Chains A and B, each alone.
Chain A
Amino acid sequence: MKRNLTITVFLILLAGFNSFSQDFRQVKNLSGSWKFSVGDDPRWASPDYDDSDWDQIRVPGKWESQGYDNYDGIAWYRKTFEADDFERHTPVYLLLGRIDDADEVYLNGELFAQTGSFPPDFEIKYYEDRVFLLPERILKNNPEITIAVRVYDYFGEGGIKSGKVGLYYDYDANYIDFPIGGKWKFKTGRNKDWARQKYPDESWDEINVPATWESQGYSNYDGYAWYRKSFDFPPEVDKKDLYLVLGKIDDYDYVYLNGELLGSYKTIRRDFDYPREQDTWRNIRYYTIPDGLLKSGRNQLAVQVLDNQGNGGIYAGPVGITSKENHYSLRRKYRRSNTFFEYIFEAIFD
């Protein structure tokens, strides 16, 4: 644990400024008063649970500053809101700021995401922004959505502590003509066959893209994994000079379209923003699609990802196929110039 805490300090320094850096714009503000109770009971996840006699607490804000001084352990937050006006802005992300130390998020009673883990084998993640892609079926099928957040605080400050809390959309989605986010097929492991266009992946797990795999049931998984997505491309679109944008990937990727290798993190590294190999997780992936490879109708994407440590996966957007012009706009927006300190740092260590 002590070693973890030391590593954590470094992670705060890294993650503090740059953890997702998507261009989030607000759709619905969910900060303010939430229902709150110490203790633990699985029934508290249910949208039907009557929380009228629960305490009210300000979110974001640590619970210690709101009367719950010295409270460590498990507590729940609940909030219900109307699901309106989201159509214009899909995909919609749920942002819950930073939660001290670990949490489970329930949407209408269903476990939706987990960050860190609860005791006995607990893992603290208080330095990490909670960013979740909301599944469309939840937004479409429910006039009201109840969010219940089960929080574990192992010591010291606890709760939904700081940051943006609400529903947001990624402004950069505007640069993508043909988005390919949402549910993908997912399997941990390493197998060249999984790049094949016709490989049968029906039995594979489903995973949201973009989002870390740690937040989707694969907490603590480091190593190889494959993502697959089949999608229909409209016949009327001219298939020349197109780019595949794959968002940010932690850490390394090989990308196949219809069985052909499009490129890898090495391609990106040669010509792009963070030239050092250990920084590839910060780069948005852009791959040129050779003319003729993309078909009208059914196409198949396959991505091999290797995560060295910490979070893994295709974890931040935007994801999809877009024109040369849009791709340049996006690239220009995130082109990075070295800061003074980084010049010095690189001069010393490279």
Chain B
Amino acid sequence: MKLYFYKIIIAVIFISIGFSSLGDTEFEKKQVRAVNLNGWWKFSIMQTDGWAERNFDDSGWDEIKAPDEWEDQGYNGYNGYGFYRKKIKIDKEITESQMYLSLGYIDDVDEVYFNGEFIGSTGSFPPNYKTAYNAKRMYYIPGSIVKPGEENIIAVKVFDMTQAGGINKGDLGIFIQEYPIKTDVDLVGQWKFTTRNSDSFKEPGYDDSNWDEIMVPGAWENQGFRNYDGCAWYRKEFRVDKSDAEDYMVMLAGLIDDVDKVYLNGTWIGQTGENDEFYSRSAGSSVRYYESERAYVFPSDLLKDGLNVIAIKVVDGQGTGGIYDGPVGIVKQSKFVEYWKRRSRKNRNNSDW
């Protein structure tokens, strides 16, 4: 009888959660699965010329299941390279959102192509071998390389050093992240990343070519920097057509754990918190900076027609670290102001009843 009573309570809780999430979600971010990639993939252990290309003929390849280790699927004891291919269709409306390719966990190193274009890599192949078996793979797919309505190809090169190999854990698919404000310059995607620290990293001319790559947004713990607390720098190059800019623009740097300083072409444009307060792990601030939606206004004089560099210094006290959620990009100030006007009106209406 008592147990029955608890079941009712639990049911009521679930129902009320269901109802509370039924509201209008215009100002919430959404993560939606657009394509399911769990299941059968074409597979080969031979590297053939053009294997990552869209029109490559893989009809002679083997088929294996992902996520699952290849040892359990006829490749027992095999260590070395493996090549995966999968054909998918993507609807046009999906390509208008930020698309992520989620490949779960891969043992040990991978390199990913979409329609023959390189979109990311985690770990390091021999001769400078470095495993990334515990890193969750999330790659940003630029909308420009997707062919909506047609056949698209995902191709993954995997290297396994020992034991279980391949795309072996996780939930595979293409997910779209929708943010309530659409940026004019989208800065979601692969950024350069280092856990070193130097003031020179903010300079646009600094050579970051030997830095790691990281997906932004995404906590660094999920991208090969598990348990790292402390200082890190992000850098990204991007192009701008200045004829489209307003006098004042807003840099949206998403949600950051914990504090940050942002530089555009070497010039400071904004920050949240004081970097110094997080340097010693024990002295973490009581302020919940990780909840603050970063928005920094800057004059568009700082933007260059053509190539620009944004650099973000992040200091994480403990736990999750980095630019862990979006939106990330640059938006015209008028659009930003309008967005907040709509959002505040909505909030006020909601609180009326």
Do A and B interact? yes
A333, CB-defined interface residue at 8 Å: no
B75, CB-defined interface residue at 8 Å: no
Chain B positions 281-312 with a Cβ under 8 Å from a chain A Cβ:
283, 285-289, 291-293, 295-297
Could you tell me if B340 and A38 are in contact, using CB atoms closer than 8 angstroms? yes
A119 to B272 alpha-carbon distance, docked (Å): 9
Chain A residues with Cβ under 8 A from B343's Cβ?
67-68
What 1/0 flags go to A272-306 for Cβ under 8 Å of B?
A: 00000000000000000000000000000000000
A37, CB-defined interface residue at 8 Å: yes
The majority secondary structure among interface residues of chain B is mixed
B9, CB-defined interface residue at 8 Å: no
A67 to B268 alpha-carbon distance, docked (Å): 29
Could you tell me if A70 and B291 are in contact, using CB atoms closer than 8 angstroms? yes
What 1/0 flags go to B248-266 for Cβ under 8 Å of A?
A: 1010000000000100000
Chain B residues with Cβ under 8 A from A40's Cβ?
248, 297, 333
B239, CB-defined interface residue at 8 Å: no
Interface stretch, picked from A71-79, A80-88, A253-261, A319-327, is: A71-79
Q: A39-B333, A154-B272 are in contact. Are A72 and B348 (CB under 8 A)?
A: no
Could you tell me if B285 and A67 are in contact, using CB atoms closer than 8 angstroms? no
Q: How far is the CB of B295 from chain A (nearest CB, A)?
A: 5
Chain A residues with Cβ under 8 A from B271's Cβ?
119-120
Q: Quick one: closest A residue to B248, CB to CB? A: A41
Chain A residues proximal to chain B, CB less than 8 Å? 1-2, 5, 37-41, 55, 66-74, 119-120, 154-156
15 example contacts (A-B, Cβ-Cβ < 8 A) are as follows A2-B277, A2-B286, A5-B287, A38-B336, A39-B250, A39-B337, A40-B333, A67-B343, A67-B346, A70-B292, A73-B295, A73-B296, A119-B270, A120-B261, A154-B273
Chain B residues proximal to chain A, CB less than 8 Å? 247-248, 250, 261, 268, 270-274, 276-277, 283, 285-289, 291-293, 295-297, 333, 336-337, 340-341, 343-348
Task: Given contacts A41-B247, A41-B248, list 8 more A-B pairs with CB under 8 A.
Answer: A1-B273, A2-B277, A2-B286, A5-B287, A55-B340, A119-B271, A155-B288, A155-B289
* Closest 10 pairs between A and B when the two form their complex, measured CB to CB: A67-B344, A67-B347, A40-B297, A1-B274, A67-B348, A72-B292, A38-B340, A1-B277, A39-B333, A55-B341
